[in-house]
Amino acid sequence: MSLIELRDVSKRFGRLVVLNGVSLSIEEGQSLVVIGASGSGKSVMLKHIVGLLTPDEGEVWFDGRRVDELSDRQLDKVREHFGFLFQMGALFDSLSVEDNVAFPVVEHTKKSTEEIRKLVAEKLRMVGLDGTQKKMPGELSGGQRKRVALALAIALNPRVILYDEPTTGLDPIRSDVINELILKLKRELNVTSIVVTHDMNSAFKVADRIVMLHEGKLIIDGSPQEIQKSEVPVVRRFVLGEAGDQELAGLKSSAPAAYTSSGGNGDREKR
Amino acid sequence: MPVAFVERLGLRSLGTLEAFGDFFVFVFQTFRWLFAGGLAPKNLRLLPAQFYEVGVRSVPVVCVTGAFIGMVMAIETHAQFKAIGQEVRLGSVINLSVVKQIGPVLAAVMLAGRVGGALTAELGTMNVTEQLDALRVMGADPIRYLVVPRFIACCLLTPMLTIYSDFLGVIGGWVISVPFLGVPNEPYWFFSAQGVDTWQVMEGLVKSFFFGGAIGMISCYKGFNCGSGASGVGRACTESFVSSFLVIIILNFFFAHILRSMYTAMYGVRGLFE
């Protein structure tokens, strides 16, 4: 049986349909990358998996339990198996790096202060930031914040780590550091990873399997090699980073007639 | 056209009803956590920081407000009382107004601005930067972790701050009446003591407990439900202050009516000039 399963999940916000009958199974230990344009529902899908959002229709399952029907207390238990790296890190501004990483440990375990201190140091070492314990999140660079957020996500040794756009806003070098970290955590902790991204370099580097969300539906599901070779136009343009006529239509129609080739001909000067 | 109007009206009414429903669910959840873990040692350690933020940092602004209100009351009422030869009774009017109405209401309004705005901005920012979701994912209910301590701090410290406001109001009124306007000191305090009894002081403090609760609840709710981006947080802060202010004024009316009826039933009507 799959570790995580979405069955015909649909979600709308007002009149906007974000997910439209999405079905997906994720096996234990797999690294799944979800690609898709901005606003295609990738993060919404991720939030359904941990019960932050409930589907309008369909079912979400984790390890044989139906997540979308659990009570708050039951959900808290299920969420102990997840680590979540949010897009902006979501570190608590008022807490130091040490207190941030220690937060879930204090909430869920009865470890002593000394044990927590050691655990925090170990997790920060794993992301290459041991020694930053006393710093505040505001003193860290974007890449460091993401790495601290990753240390926080793995504090309870989760079975699944969800990454919401882990490389967004980072330069290529910092992005690669994050990609290497994702691979390292998979190797060392043997976790199941679900990475939402539109960074194709990152996707091809960390994925065992890639799916693409487009207009609320999964339009392709395959290995990185299969995605690279795909002839589906939407997938192909996304992988190559090429805008199509549909995306460019707005640019063309928004230009004033006087500036377009057909409407130009010096009309502007005459006026 | 009329159909569109009715449709818009209906949608707006439904939206308002939905917001009311959401607010009462939020209040219910806060009380549920208050009695189911909100007062556990793990949560109580969050209180001192909130006491400092809500209470200690509000003392100067509340004291200044109270003092000036007492002084203004003295200036405005002195001439009228002197005209009828009753300036010795100035203390009873000033102090009664301060401890019963102006002290608690203005202290609460100041807190709605200072504390309410800050709470909404803090929680709103946490909301738009996904920190509330991060708490949920880590199995820490944001209402237990963030709202309950702030609500308790607002409930307990608003009456404390009202005592400061009342005290400074009384001193402010005395400073203008006695040293500046020449009202005799002894009769001033004699009539003050005659006009203000424990009931009136307690009336103001009881009201301020509920004002504090309303400020805490409204400002946290607005922060939790703010729109996206900086403009969403800004709008939530404005709404938080306006809603808190309206609720304080409306609650004050109902408290005035209920507590006046209770007082009359127990002690009868007492005039200031008896």
Q: What is each CA distance from B260 to B207, B267, B272, in whole angstroms?
A: 13, 10, 15
Residue B190 or A254, more confident: B190
Q: Which residues does chain B have within 8 Å of residue A93's beta carbon, measured at their own beta carbons?
A: 131
Q: What is each CA distance from B258 to B105, B251, B264, in whole angstroms?
A: 16, 10, 10
- The verdict on B239 touching A (C-beta cutoff 8 Å) is no
Question: Does residue A245 register a pLDDT over 80?
Answer: no
Question: Does residue B214 register a pLDDT over 50?
Answer: yes
What is residue B238's DSSP assignment? H
| Record: contact A90-B141, CB cut-off 8 A | no
B251 by Cβ neighbours in 10 Å (0-12 / 13-18 / 19+) ranks as middle
pLDDT, residue A265, reads 44
pLDDT, residue A142, reads 84
Q: What is each CA distance from B183 to B12, B73, B147, B171, in whole angstroms?
A: 57, 14, 48, 14
Sign of the Cα torsion A216, A220, A221, A226 reads negative
pLDDT, residue A129, reads 85
Residue A246 or A229, more confident: A229
For residue B222, what pLDDT band results from cuts at 50, 70 and 90? Answer: very high
Residue A261 or B111, more confident: B111
Residue B113 or B229, more confident: B113
Question: Which of A106, A111, A194 to mutate to test binding with chain B, by most B CBs within 10 Å of its CB?
Answer: A106
Q: What would the mean pLDDT of A115-135 be, rounded to a whole number?
A: 90
For B229, half-sphere exposure in the C-beta direction (CA atoms, 13 angstrom radius) is 1
Residue A224's identity, in one-letter code, is P
Please write down the HEC assignment for all residues of B26-39: HHHHHHHHHHCCCC
Q: Which residues does chain B have within 8 Å of residue A43's beta carbon, measured at their own beta carbons?
A: none
Looking at beta carbons, which pairs linking B197-203 to residues 24 or more positions away fall under 8 Å? B199/B263, B199/B267, B200/B96, B200/B99, B200/B100, B201/B99, B201/B166, B203/B99, B203/B100, B203/B255, B203/B259, B203/B263
- The verdict on B138 touching A (C-beta cutoff 8 Å) is yes
pLDDT, residue B16, reads 86
- The verdict on B140 touching A (C-beta cutoff 8 Å) is yes
Contacts A–B by Cβ distance under 8 A: 46
| Record: contact A79-B129, CB cut-off 8 A | no
pLDDT, residue A231, reads 86
Question: ipTM score of the complex?
Answer: 0.81
Q: What would the mean pLDDT of B63-89 be, rounded to a whole number?
A: 91
Question: Does residue A97 register a pLDDT over 70?
Answer: yes
Q: What is each CA distance from B4 to A14, B7, B17, in whole angstroms?
A: 19, 5, 20
Contact predicate B55/B234, CB 8 Å? no
Question: Does residue A270 register a pLDDT over 50?
Answer: no
Contact predicate A183/A190, CB 8 Å? no
Strand A82-85: give its sheet, edge to edge.
A82-85, A160-164, A192-196, A31-35, A209-214, A217-222
- The verdict on B18 touching A (C-beta cutoff 8 Å) is no
Cα separation, A178 vs A142, in Å, equals 11
Minimum distance, in Å, between the CA of residue B120 and any CA atom of chain A: 15
Cα separation, B258 vs B131, in Å, equals 42
Nearest to A80 among B126, B136, B139 (CB): B139
Residue B15 or A34, more confident: A34
Mean of pLDDT over chain B: 91
A140-172 burial, b for 16+ CB within 10 Å, e for fewer?
beebbbbbbbbbbbbbbebbbbbbbbbbbebee
**In chain B, % of residues over pLDDT 90:** 70
Cα separation, A103 vs B136, in Å, equals 12
pLDDT digits (tens, 9 = 90+) for B110-154: 999 999 999 999 999 999 989 999 999 988 889 999 999 999 999
- The verdict on A76 touching B (C-beta cutoff 8 Å) is yes
**In chain A, % of residues over pLDDT 70:** 92
Phi (first) and psi of residue B225, to 5 degrees: -120, 25
Phi (first) and psi of residue A222, to 5 degrees: -170, -175
Token representation of residue B134? 């991060």
Cα separation, A240 vs B35, in Å, equals 56
Minimum distance, in Å, between the CA of residue B133 and any CA atom of chain A: 7
Q: Which residues does chain B have within 8 Å of residue A84's beta carbon, measured at their own beta carbons?
A: 133-134, 137
- The verdict on A257 touching B (C-beta cutoff 8 Å) is no
Cα separation, B135 vs B129, in Å, equals 12
pLDDT digits (tens, 9 = 90+) for A218-232: 999 999 999 988 888
pLDDT, residue B239, reads 94
Q: What would the mean pLDDT of B14-32 be, rounded to a whole number?
A: 91
pLDDT digits (tens, 9 = 90+) for A7-65: 999 999 988 999 999 999 999 999 999 999 888 889 999 999 999 999 999 999 999 99
Helices H, strands E: what count in chain B? 13, 0
- The verdict on A82 touching B (C-beta cutoff 8 Å) is yes
pLDDT, residue B40, reads 81
For residue B35, what pLDDT band results from cuts at 50, 70 and 90? Answer: confident
Question: Does residue A147 register a pLDDT over 50?
Answer: yes
For residue A254, what pLDDT band results from cuts at 50, 70 and 90? Answer: low
Minimum distance, in Å, between the CA of residue B136 and any CA atom of chain A: 8
pLDDT, residue B273, reads 58
Cα separation, A17 vs A41, in Å, equals 9
Residue labelled with tokens 């997790």: A123
For residue A253, what pLDDT band results from cuts at 50, 70 and 90? Answer: low
Question: Does residue A72 register a pLDDT over 50?
Answer: yes
- The verdict on B137 touching A (C-beta cutoff 8 Å) is yes
For A127, half-sphere exposure in the C-beta direction (CA atoms, 13 angstrom radius) is 28
What is residue B114's DSSP assignment? I
Q: How far apart are the first and last CA of chain A?
A: 72
pLDDT, residue B88, reads 87
Cα separation, A187 vs A179, in Å, equals 13
Residue numbers of A between 95 and 114 with CB closer than 8 Å to B: 103-104, 106-108
Q: What is each CA distance from B107 to B55, B246, B247, in whole angstroms?
A: 12, 14, 14
Contact predicate A238/A38, CB 8 Å? no
Question: Does residue A261 register a pLDDT over 50?
Answer: no
pLDDT digits (tens, 9 = 90+) for B159-182: 999 999 999 999 999 999 999 999
Nearest to A79 among B42, B131, B139 (CB): B139
pLDDT, residue A109, reads 86
Left if phi > 0, otherwise alpha if psi is -120 to 50, otherwise beta: which for A58? Answer: left
Cα separation, B238 vs B120, in Å, equals 9
- Grouping H, G, I as helix, E, B as strand and the rest as coil, residue B1 is coil
- The verdict on A90 touching B (C-beta cutoff 8 Å) is yes
pLDDT, residue A262, reads 45
pLDDT, residue A99, reads 93
- Grouping H, G, I as helix, E, B as strand and the rest as coil, residue B218 is helix
Minimum distance, in Å, between the CA of residue A249 and any CA atom of chain B: 28
